[in-house]
Every structure is written in C-alpha cells, then in structure tokens.
A = this chain, B = another copy of it.
C-alpha cells in the first residue's frame, strides 16, 4: 500500500516509523516533534520543573540519557534562569563503562553542558567489578544490579548535592517504570509503589527526582536517539543477564506485541494505585548511623551492603 509510506500527521513526507498503539505512520520530523511535545506535556502534567531549577541530569551515556540531555538542553533555552548539569557515575565495569563515559563527555562538550564524573571507587573504595567478585564469597549474595542500583542512587545524590542541584532528572522510560512496578509486585514490595509517585512529597534530605521520559516507550526513546544522530553506548551491561528485570521486560514486550498499548494501560493502572498506596503508608526517615545520609532504616542500604561485603573480604 502506497498510503502506508506517507506520514499520517503532515500527509506529505515519507513515513519512517510506525506506532502500533495509535496506528500512525510518522515521518522523521513529525516523530521528533511528537516526542518533544509529549515530553513537554509530561513535564507540565507532573509540574516537574520550576523556571529557576538547577537540574542535575543522570547521564549514563546510553541512548535514553543522551536523548534526554539533547531534549532538556533544547527546552532549557526557553528558561534563562534554569541551569543544566550532567552527572555521570562510573561504576567501574571493565570493558563496558569507559565507552559510555566517553559518549557522555563528548555530548556535553558539543552542547556546552557542564559535566561531572564520579566513580564508585572514589566514593566507596571499590569498583563494581571488585564488589561483585568479593560478593561471591557471601551466602545469599545480592545480585550485581542490587549493589549497582543502591550505590548509583547514592553517588548521584552526593554529586547532585555538591552542585546544589534542586532536581535530579533521570531518563527512565515507560518500559522501565512498568517493569519496576511489576518487579515490586513480584518481590512483595507493595509499599515501594508510593515511592514511585512523582507527586509524592520528597523526604527531607533527598533531592526531588523527575523522569521526563516516563510516558515514552523504550522503542521510541531509542528511535529518537537514532534520528537525532546521538552516538551512544549500545552494548548491554555484562551483568544485566542476572536480573529478573530482563525476564519481565521480555514478558511485557510479548504482551505489547499482541496487544499494542497494553504498557500504557498498565502504566495508568499503577498511576491510579500509587496515591492510594501512599495514603496507607507512614514513611519514617532516619539519618544513617554510619554515614549520616538520609535513609528509611537506621542503617542505610549502602552501609548495610558494604558492611556485609567487608566481612566477606
């Protein structure tokens, strides 16, 4: 069918992307515009930014975070009082992380965005590779992704705090959000649902986090990165295979292929659930007795993971 090759929006240019859940075929320009419009709408819907925010973007060097850098830099031009910084956390993964750090640095140079690189080794004394190796001596060792997630979150908070950032922006997309919800259910962590609520008041000591891509499917952040010509890390993390998340991603993609739009339906189900869950939970915030950082337990997750590890060494 010849009509398939024309953009459903402008009716003129050649379509390069088919969006199964809406039935639209889009040309390069209309696709890029639709992503940018959707992100602006998401930002405004959740009131993610103030005009004078100092934004710290978590820039891994993958397609999502580089696309978000590109987009926030574009949006920020209209807000002269806002500032944009990029923070890259080098976890220390041999043969994987260095390439991504280079892509991140290159993109920041090109757009003239201030860039800070922090590493697990300088902050916590070990690279992720060293941690994973040491953890093998533990009974019931946490998965590499557990260490990485907890420490990366802390690294980001510390670096953003030094920059006196008022917001941390991460490039989590629709797929990430839906996977996380399902994983919380599969782990029995229903009280974590409240924490995912972008409108939940941030606990004292934490810099508020925003996710401008939370309503953009992963397939579209990837295609956006491709169309805007960003060079990004495409290799998968060598530890990724160990996580239940990969299995949930596969199951959700299988459902989406047969029922286009089902990820959005799930996302909206969770959005309806979150404020209900939050209302039932009293979150208590402590200062960790070892490192003094804010925590939901007297000993924070970072210190409890690291102290277990020290025993194993």
* A273 on interface, CB distance cutoff 8 Å: yes
Chain B residues with Cβ under 8 A from A190's Cβ? Answer: 269, 272-273, 276
Q: Contact string, A235-257, partner B, CB cutoff 8 A, digits 1/0? A: 00000000010010001001100
Give the contact stretch, choosing among A49-57, A74-82, A258-266, A305-313.
A258-266
* A282 on interface, CB distance cutoff 8 Å: no
* A280 on interface, CB distance cutoff 8 Å: yes
Is chain A's interface secondary structure helix, strand, loop, or mixed overall? helix
The complex places the Cα of A190 from the Cα of B270 at a distance, in Å, of: 8
* CB of A208 to closest CB in B, whole Å: 24
* A186 on interface, CB distance cutoff 8 Å: yes
* CB of A196 to closest CB in B, whole Å: 14
Chain B residues with Cβ under 8 A from A185's Cβ? Answer: 266, 269-270
- Count how many chain A residues have C-beta atoms less than 8 Å from C-beta atoms of the other chain: 28
Chain B residues with Cβ under 8 A from A110's Cβ? Answer: none
Instruction: List 14 contacting pairs A-B, 8 Å CB cutoff, sorted by A.
Output: A185-B270, A186-B255, A186-B262, A188-B265, A189-B269, A190-B273, A190-B276, A191-B272, A247-B255, A247-B258, A251-B251, A251-B255, A276-B276, A276-B279
Chain B residues with Cβ under 8 A from A251's Cβ? Answer: 251, 254-255
- Identical chains bound together, number: 2
The complex places the Cα of A258 from the Cα of B258 at a distance, in Å, of: 23
* A277 on interface, CB distance cutoff 8 Å: yes
* A268 on interface, CB distance cutoff 8 Å: yes
Check B265–A186 contact: CB distance below 8 A. yes
Chain B residues with Cβ under 8 A from A191's Cβ? Answer: 272
Check B269–A280 contact: CB distance below 8 A. no
* A162 on interface, CB distance cutoff 8 Å: no
The complex places the Cα of A39 from the Cα of B262 at a distance, in Å, of: 35
Where the two chains meet, the residues of A that have a C-beta atom closer than 8 Å to any C-beta of B are: 184-191, 244, 247, 251, 254-255, 258-259, 262, 265-266, 268-270, 272-273, 275-277, 279-280
Nearest residue in B to A281 (C-beta to C-beta)? B276
- Which one of B186, B255, B270, B275 contacts A266 once the chains associate, using CB atoms below 8 Å? B186
With contacts A191-B272, A251-B251 known, what are 8 further pairs, Cβ within 8 A?
A: A186-B259, A186-B266, A188-B272, A190-B273, A190-B276, A273-B277, A276-B276, A279-B280
Most buried by B among A185, A187, A277: A185
* CB of A7 to closest CB in B, whole Å: 28
Chain B residues with Cβ under 8 A from A270's Cβ? Answer: 185
Chain B residues with Cβ under 8 A from A272's Cβ? Answer: 188, 190-191
Chain B residues with Cβ under 8 A from A280's Cβ? Answer: 275-276, 279
The complex places the Cα of A149 from the Cα of B183 at a distance, in Å, of: 30
Nearest residue in B to A251 (C-beta to C-beta)? B251
* CB of A228 to closest CB in B, whole Å: 32
The complex places the Cα of A189 from the Cα of B270 at a distance, in Å, of: 10
